[in-house]
Structure 1
Amino acid sequence: MAFLLERLKRFKQYLIYIPQVLELIWQAAHYWMAGWCILLIIQGLLPAASIFLSRALVDSLVSAAGQGMAWESLRPVMIPGIAMVGVLLAGELLGSLTTWVRTSQAELVQDYISGLVHQQSIVIDFACYESPEYSDRLERAREGASRQSLSLLESLGSLLQSTITLGAIAAILLTYGPWLPLLLVISALPALAIGLQLNMEQYQWSQRTTSDRRRLSYYEYLLTSNWTAAELRLFSWGEHFASAYQRLRRRLRREHMQLIRRQTLSRLLASAIALLLSGLAVVWMAQQLLLGLLTIGDLALFYQAFSRGQSIIKSFLSNLEEIYRNSLFISNLLEFLALKPEVIDPPNPKALPSPLQHAIEFNQVSFAYPGSDQKTLSNFSLMIPAGKITAIVGDNGAGKSTLIKLLCRFYDPTQGSIQLDGIDLRQFSTSELRRAITVLFQSPMAYYVTAGENIALGDSNTTFSQQELVKAAQGAGIHPKIMGLPQEYESQLGKWFSGGTDLSGGEWQKLSLARAFIRQAQFIILDEPTSAMDPWAEHEWLSRFRKMAYRRTALVITHRFTLARQADLIYVMKAGKIVESGNHDELLRQRGLYAQSWLAQTGELKVKV
């Protein structure tokens, strides 16, 4: 009993999620949910009505036996017979109607919950996506989020229906003795305790293996993705990753089968106990029949009531287990939806300077990524003058890409401030700030839509004319390639969909540049914008770069000194610090890191810094 009480106590902890799930489902499909509940109540009463009518039907048949086919002898049989047929037909009709209502409700709920997960994924802090713990949490939330919610609703509905049916059957059995309904309940208690324990074990195993199952998905991606196909073949990595997949899969399969075996044996034990107790009721019933205390109709009613009662008890317990199990998993979804971003807007956002008059300034900024004690930036200061092109060069790991994340307010500084015309970034609306920025990231995305749509994604809130798309493509140097595609700007890109054309790395980068330039943002940030271009394409693009950045504040992060040379101001960054600054000529005269790297890149000095 103590074991059962402990399981019930745990069960109660997770029941707090049920009202939240019901609220979600009500918001998604309240009319369908109301209709579904009404159907469940009616269906819950039909089995009891069928059992009640069976006694009258059997007794009337016994009375009519041997009296021929006269109407007077058949009439007592016809009334309960017709009523029984009506109940059966109603059950079939309501069953079909419930299926239709449940399917319609499921479609709406799936769309609604998927929308909530997608929206939360968009608004949550960028830092979450660089955290393995968050990735596990997102995976758990996504893992059948809508399916688990619907399954919980189904279980609650079945529980409601079973409760109504069980109550009606118990009322019928009470006329034969109060101990019969009690016996039904007692026979179910072992199954209830075992079921709650097994579901907790299943949930704990699922939680514990989330990272392993994500790793399986990663291995499968490596083995089947077109992005990895070339290296997989060239370096013969296929067998390595396939073996790693199978090793991990074997371990998870072994653990899961052990869990299933334990569940099967435990449920067999619970069933044996229930069968033993039901045998006592059958023995008592046989005794009452032999003593002449029950009629054949009573026997039929009792057999149906007790048999159906046991079936309903099993269904009731199964529903409780499902509610418990789904509540455990639903807790992941609700906890994910409850996450709050830390990078938020101020209560009264200030207007963004438009255009920028003076500069963007980093003032004594220190920053360490969440979960790390090592500072990427420490007391870092930098000025990006308005309307000018500023370049930052430096070795890998110097913190250059971190500057982009801070400027876009993906993160806030640990210490210090970043200011636009003397106003801290945290004083602006985050959405307004980001609308004023266009960025080409170091590894730009390849979007498998048409060429024109790819460019137009630079500002999804604006409808661009064909002329504007062409102008952006020409500025980025991708226009000739697009015009050579089968349907020009309407051509499908990528090999995922039928008729798609793939681009080279440099061509995808040019397309991303066009996407960055078509966005009429006053701040342009380019992270290694020519890294995938050949020297001829780079030279051609550089000749247009100043025109594209005219009157806009541009920040260029690059290893290419031929690109940095185009800037009005160049910063040399090393280990999170600015070590040199000036224009190209000034830095050459300083004969420091920049001068050495410039000479090395242009072949005048065979030195690698």
Structure 2
Amino acid sequence: MISKLRSANIIFSHLLRTLSLVWSASRYWTLVWMVLLFVQGLLPAASISLTPWAVNALVHVTGSGISTASIQKILLPVGLIAGIMLVGELLSSAAEWIRTAQSELVGDYITNLIQKQSVAVDYGFYEYSEYNDKLNRAREGASGRSLALLESTGGLLQNGVTLLAMAAVLLPYGLWLPTILVISAFPAFYVLIYLNKVQYQWSQRTTTDRRWLMYYDYLLTNSAMAAEIRLFDSANHFRSSYRNLRRRLRHEQLKLLRDQTIGRFVAAIIALTISGIALVWMGRQVLLGILTLGDLALFFQAFRQGQGIVKDILGNLGQIYRNSLFIGNLFDFLKIQPKIVDPPNPVPVPLKPKQAICFRQVTFSYPSNEEAVLENFNLTIPSGKIVAIVGDNGAGKSTLIKLLCRFYDPDSGSIELDGVDLRDFSVKELRRLITVLFQSPTSYYTTAGQNIALGDVSAASNQAEIEAAAQASGIHEKILRLPLGYNTMLGKLFPDGTDLSGGQWQRLALARAFFRRAQIIILDEPTSAMDPWAENDWLERFRSLASDRTAIVITHRFTLAMQADIIHVMRAGQIVESGSHNELLNLNGLYAQSWRDQMEAGSSTKIENSLI
């Protein structure tokens, strides 16, 4: 009993939140919709109440021939019934138009909520499979479920008004008739509630499976995967995986549908049996002369429609139950609270760092991994210097970027900027101080100029500054050779797009990072996709680009590391060597060994493969 009450409270809570959500999205349309529901609810009973008048009038004039008097006797009741039917059609058309308007507004409103929440949650949430399940469930028909819940509620209100009116029509024939009318629909209601619960549980259980289907489809249809799929001939493997999983889910879904069909059929048989009993009783009353043919016509219409309305009401309740379960996924997603938040009283972020960035006894492990990536880690990065961090894969270099950007906070220890813990700053203001070229930068399918301007969307798109950033990264000349220069659409996703090479996309991302004009520059493998000629061209300008700003460069390339004022060698989450290029060579440690290997190999390829 307690669990049922709890479920009822949850459903009622979801219903109230959904109504509030719909009201926020389309309040004026919702007001008109509610008025229409009430009027539409009264029309069926009004039409049926005129039935005895029309039928009895027809019986009275039967056999009297066609005359003005005969037509006058039946014209008014028939005309009123026709008028009610016409108004009903008009209101139905108006309601369809209103529902469409509501659908568009509510759909846009919910999409905006999901997008806003997706950006607001911590970066770390994306590394949880459970989070991706929640996101998928929230996005999966969220606006449709909200509108379905609204329509079910509206249907319940409209049918409730109609049922009360029908009960008033049937009540003179006996109190037991409205009662049996309601009882006849309960089997269908029970079947609906039970099967909706089973359907919801199946949907929750198979969320990850359905995400696998999306992933297989992405592999087979996305341009980024096209080359490898063809070269390694793996299409059949992924198609087979898709088909096998889809076959299992389809069989489970068809089994659910079979159970629903059988349950509804049995419930319909019960309802028809009860209807038959009521009709036999009514026919007996007519044969005994207690009731007229008009009464029989009224009863038949009222009882049949009333039974359908009760069924619809219970169906509305079932749909409310079902949709409230699914809409709960949206509300669960919107309840996720980020952990990386502003402090109650943020300290102003320095316009220009003057001292250093300091990692003090920092220990950190990713939420999905108990093993610490950094443990009691210490590092000082002086302001205004170029600092290179080199090391083998998995040493924790990229983790430093995520911590500096406050995508994560340390498990213990602190990261300080000019002596102030990063957690004491506003998150947004701290990030505005930083510009980053990530190891796998995003390729935006917009114009070349817009690609660069995305580095600082809060700034005016000054063409001179865009071109200056492009020149700094070495992509300016390439952009000028494009069909429309800086107005050229990039990528092949949209019409008239022009694609770039990997190195050119990387230079464009560098330009985007430089356009931000932030005081702290973080570059993660900034030349990894460049050929040696392009890299040398860029390195010639690198020190002037970073002049008077703090630059942190994560790299595997000696040619870039040599440009730094300080080089830190990182291994297994710790700094093991520090110094300038020459100092590290004299130290004769890991860095020097990698350098000697490169010198002996005499190739830049060896540099990348042997460094640390």
**TM > 0.5 between the two?**
yes
Deviation at 1:76, TM superposition (A): 3.0
Match for 1:290 among 279, 287, 306? 287
Per-residue CA deviations over 1:353-408 (Å, capped at 9, x if unaligned) read: 12101001001000111132111110001011101111100000011111111100
The answer to whether 1:62 aligns with 2:62 is: no
What code does the residue aligned with 1:213 have?
Answer: R
Q: Secondary structure at the match of 1:16?
A: helix
Q: Which residue of 2 is the match for residue 548 of structure 1?
A: 545
Q: Which residue of 1 is the match for residue 229 of structure 2?
A: 232
Deviation at 1:16, TM superposition (A): 1.8
Q: Which residue of 2 is the match for residue 528 of structure 1?
A: 525
Partner Cα distance (1:443, 1:379) in 2: 28
What code does the residue aligned with 1:159 have?
Answer: L
Structure 1 segment 395-544 matched on structure 2, within 5 A: 395-544=392-541
Provide TM-score, normalisation by structure 1: 0.97
Per-residue CA deviations over 1:390-449 (Å, capped at 9, x if unaligned) read: 110000001111111110001111000000100000110000001111000000010000
Structure 1 segment 19-168 matched on structure 2, within 5 A: 19-168=16-165
What code does the residue aligned with 1:157 have?
Answer: G
Deviation at 1:465, TM superposition (A): 2.0
Partner Cα distance (1:259, 1:64) in 2: 55
Partner Cα distance (1:62, 1:602) in 2: 113
Q: Secondary structure at the match of 1:212?
A: helix
Conserved in 1, the CA contact under 8 Å of 2:189 and 2:311? no
Q: Which residue of 1 is the match for residue 298 of structure 2?
A: 301
Q: Secondary structure at the match of 2:483?
A: coil
Partner Cα distance (2:409, 2:231) in 1: 43
Structure 1 segment 333-348 matched on structure 2, within 5 A: 333-348=330-345
What code does the residue aligned with 2:79 have?
Answer: I
Partner Cα distance (2:7, 2:385) in 1: 63
Q: Secondary structure at the match of 2:567?
A: strand
What code does the residue aligned with 2:567 have?
Answer: I
Q: Secondary structure at the match of 2:223?
A: coil
Partner Cα distance (2:290, 2:563) in 1: 106
The answer to whether 1:184 aligns with 2:168 is: no
Conserved in 2, the CA contact under 8 Å of 1:11 and 1:196? no
- Number of residues of Structure 1 aligned to a counterpart in Structure 2: 606
CA separation of 1:603 and 1:477: change in aligned 2, threshold 3 A? farther
Deviation at 1:105, TM superposition (A): 1.2
Partner Cα distance (1:560, 1:338) in 2: 45
Structure 1 segment 292-331 matched on structure 2, within 5 A: 292-331=289-328
Q: Which residue of 1 is the match for residue 166 of structure 2?
A: 169
Q: Secondary structure at the match of 2:552?
A: strand
Q: Secondary structure at the match of 1:537?
A: helix
Partner Cα distance (2:103, 2:10) in 1: 26
Deviates more, 1:520-529 or 1:10-19: 10-19
Q: Secondary structure at the match of 2:224?
A: coil
Conserved in 2, the CA contact under 8 Å of 1:7 and 1:193? no
Deviation at 1:6, TM superposition (A): 8.2
Partner Cα distance (1:77, 1:399) in 2: 90
Partner Cα distance (2:595, 2:122) in 1: 39
Partner Cα distance (1:212, 1:601) in 2: 48
Q: Secondary structure at the match of 1:570?
A: strand
Partner Cα distance (2:9, 2:58) in 1: 49
Partner Cα distance (1:565, 1:532) in 2: 19
What code does the residue aligned with 1:472 have?
Answer: A
Partner Cα distance (1:458, 1:344) in 2: 23
Deviation at 1:9, TM superposition (A): 6.9
Unmatched tracts of structure 1, length 5 or more: none
The answer to whether 1:275 aligns with 2:253 is: no
Match for 1:575 among 569, 572, 578? 572
Partner Cα distance (1:522, 1:603) in 2: 39
Deviates more, 1:220-229 or 1:77-86: 77-86
Partner Cα distance (2:158, 2:543) in 1: 72
Q: Secondary structure at the match of 1:347?
A: coil
Conserved in 1, the CA contact under 8 Å of 2:352 and 2:519? yes
Q: Secondary structure at the match of 1:361?
A: strand
Partner Cα distance (1:255, 1:82) in 2: 53
Per-residue CA deviations over 1:117-149 (Å, capped at 9, x if unaligned) read: 110011111111111110000000000111110
Q: Which residue of 2 is the match for residue 597 of structure 1?
A: 594
Conserved in 2, the CA contact under 8 Å of 1:15 and 1:324? no
What code does the residue aligned with 1:564 have?
Answer: A
Partner Cα distance (2:261, 2:9) in 1: 25
Per-residue CA deviations over 1:218-244 (Å, capped at 9, x if unaligned) read: 000000111010111111011111111
Q: Which residue of 2 is the match for residue 380 of structure 1?
A: 377
Per-residue CA deviations over 1:459-499 (Å, capped at 9, x if unaligned) read: 01111222211111111111121111111110010000011
Conserved in 1, the CA contact under 8 Å of 2:341 and 2:427? yes
Q: Secondary structure at the match of 1:62?
A: helix
Deviation at 1:64, TM superposition (A): 2.1
What code does the residue aligned with 1:322 have?
Answer: Q
Partner Cα distance (2:346, 2:7) in 1: 45
Partner Cα distance (1:9, 1:407) in 2: 44
Per-residue CA deviations over 1:205-230 (Å, capped at 9, x if unaligned) read: 11111011001100000001110101
What code does the residue aligned with 1:379 have?
Answer: N
Deviation at 1:12, TM superposition (A): 5.0
Provide TM-score, normalisation by structure 2: 0.97
Conserved in 2, the CA contact under 8 Å of 1:7 and 1:196? no
Per-residue CA deviations over 1:562-606 (Å, capped at 9, x if unaligned) read: 101101111000000000001111011101111111222344588
Q: Secondary structure at the match of 2:526?
A: coil
Deviation at 1:10, TM superposition (A): 3.9
Q: Secondary structure at the match of 1:67?
A: coil
What code does the residue aligned with 1:225 have?
Answer: N
Deviation at 1:203, TM superposition (A): 0.6
Conserved in 2, the CA contact under 8 Å of 1:7 and 1:197? no
Deviates more, 1:72-81 or 1:378-387: 72-81
Deviation at 1:99, TM superposition (A): 1.0
CA separation of 1:6 and 1:527: change in aligned 2, threshold 3 A? closer
Percent identical = 58
Q: Secondary structure at the match of 2:489?
A: coil
Partner Cα distance (1:573, 1:178) in 2: 86
Per-residue CA deviations over 1:26-45 (Å, capped at 9, x if unaligned) read: 00100000000000100000
Partner Cα distance (2:6, 2:557) in 1: 64
Conserved in 2, the CA contact under 8 Å of 1:369 and 1:376? yes
Partner Cα distance (1:236, 1:74) in 2: 81
Conserved in 1, the CA contact under 8 Å of 2:127 and 2:368? no
Q: Which residue of 2 is the match for residue 202 of structure 1?
A: 199
